[in-house]
């Protein structure tokens, strides 16, 4: 088989669709393979809304990537009929000394981000959808908001196709072999060959990349949309996206958008390790209870009936930072972003990083935090 493609992208979710677009934009011959339909609901990149925020409590080194991500999302949505990025402002809430509050404040100060610090009284007065704990402290950062993930994926894919990329759906990668500067990818429909493979298969990464199996933990998440008694208080103009570190757990949530209800999720939900092909996707009373515990206490105006729910997956690394690196022993293969539940917002810039690494072998973006070498001593 001849070298038909410059690069094959395995998985066309948030990361893969962006990679396909940026690679095609540089004139490379791109084949992108997706085992489901584009924008499907069995992985990690669905659920109508995804938070994007600059005040990043996880690590301040993410902030420059986020600035570039914001710019690229704006470029992508230019000329579309509706926006992909919606600005609401963002709240990072927790007690003084908490990871979320202190980490967010650190990022704001290190990167000179506009922000305000609110105590519980000020938070409730300014955003009456909240009933915070008496000891709550909040960082409000006005640039935060949410993305519409399914629309983002389709926009990247459409742009990629317009630039000559070939995207094949309902075609499953079964294996790949890399040697001598080439990669042969075998699917349930045939074999393909390219100079490089960008593997961005989300919770299926552990199945396809042996080097990652000891490091990755796919985890079941459930999101709920709760009926709202006073809807104006939870409108995008009045209710910022948020992360809340509370006694009950750490939660994230959104204003009402696109479908009825206040949307909320709990980080690491019920701590369930799963496989994406066999995961329970139903919402059970225990799932609702884990969410309602926070809704009833902190957002009583939205403590109505559970209107709808959705299951998705986190693909967690041991330190909950991303992986963007070459596969050990296979420099033709770029492993991209098992991202521990906080990666979608970065898709636009990670697509650009993938194109840099494929085309030049390096990138101007700082991705030192995402190297596999940080796990070199694991298990010794």
Annotated active-site residue in 156, 159, 263, 342: 263
The residue among 240, 49, 263 whose CA lies nearest residue 127 is: 240
For 36, 220, 281, 304, 320, the CA distances from 42, given in Å and listed in that order, are: 9, 11, 8, 27, 21
Catalytic residue among 22, 50, 53, 269: 50
Q: 36 catalytic, yes or no?
A: no
Annotated active-site residue in 22, 156, 321, 345? 345
Catalytic residue among 22, 220, 231, 312: 312
Among 49, 88, 315, 317, the active-site one is: 49
Catalytic site includes residue 362: no
Q: What are phi and psi of 6, to 5 degrees?
A: -75, -40
Residue 186 in contact with residue 90, Cβ under 8 Å? Answer: no
Catalytic annotation present for 275:
no
Q: Among this protein's residues, is 50 annotated catalytic? A: yes
Identify the active-site residue in 268, 281, 297, 371: 268
User: Distance between CA 217 and CA 317 in Å, rounded?
Assistant: 7
Any catalytic annotation for residue 46? yes
Distance (Å, rounded) from C-alpha 361 to C-alpha 66?
A: 22
The full DSSP string for 281-347 is -S--HHHHHHHHHHHHHH-GGG-S-EEEEEEEEEEE-TTS---EEEETTEEEEEEE---TT--GGGH
Say if residues 139 and 104 touch (Cβ distance below 8 Å).
Answer: yes
Mark whether 115 is an active-site residue. no
Q: Is 263 a catalytic residue?
A: yes
Which residues are catalytically annotated?
46, 49-50, 263, 268, 312, 345
């Amino acid at each position: 088989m001849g070298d038909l493609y410059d690069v094959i992208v395995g998985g066309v979710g948030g990361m893969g669709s962006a990679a396909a677009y940026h690679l095609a934009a540089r004139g490379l011959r791109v084949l992108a393979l997706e085992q489901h339909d584009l924008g499907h609901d069995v992985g990690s990149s669905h659920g109508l809304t995804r938070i994007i925020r600059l005040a990043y409590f996880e690590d301040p080194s993410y902030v420059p990537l986020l600035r570039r991500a914001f710019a690229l999302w704006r470029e992508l949505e230019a000329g579309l009929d509706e926006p992909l990025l919606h600005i609401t402002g963002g709240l990072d809430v927790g007690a003084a000394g908490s990871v979320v509050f202190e980490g967010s404040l650190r990022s704001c100060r290190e990167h000179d981000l506009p922000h305000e610090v609110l105590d519980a009284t000020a938070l409730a007065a300014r955003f009456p959808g909240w009933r915070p704990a008496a000891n709550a402290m909040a960082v409000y950062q006005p640039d935060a908001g949410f993305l519409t993930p399914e629309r983002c994926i389709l926009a990247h894919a459409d742009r990629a196709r317009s630039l000559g990329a070939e995207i094949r759906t309902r075609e499953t990668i079964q294996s790949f072999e890399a040697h001598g500067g080439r990669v042969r990818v075998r699917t349930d429909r045939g074999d393909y060959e390219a100079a490089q493979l960008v593997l961005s298969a989300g919770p299926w990464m552990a199945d396809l990349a042996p080097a990652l199996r000891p490091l990755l933990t796919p985890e079941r998440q459930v999101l709920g949309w709760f009926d709202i008694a006073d809807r104006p208080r939870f409108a995008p103009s009045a209710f910022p996206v948020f992360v809340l570190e509370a006694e009950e757990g750490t939660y994230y949530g959104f204003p009402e958008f696109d479908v009825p209800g206040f949307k909320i999720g709990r980080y690491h939900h019920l701590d369930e390790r799963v496989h994406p092909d066999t995961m329970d996707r139903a919402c059970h009373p225990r799932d609702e209870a884990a969410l309602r515990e926070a809704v009833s206490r902190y957002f009583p105006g939205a403590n109505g009936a559970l209107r709808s729910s959705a299951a998705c997956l986190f693909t967690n690394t041991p330190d909950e930072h991303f992986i963007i690196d070459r596969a050990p022993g296979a420099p033709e293969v770029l492993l991209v972003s098992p991202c521990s539940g906080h990666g979608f917002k970065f898709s636009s810039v990670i697509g650009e990083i993938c194109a840099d690494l494929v085309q030049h072998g390096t990138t101007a973006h700082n991705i030192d935090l995402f190297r596999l070498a940080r796990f070199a001593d694991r298990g010794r």
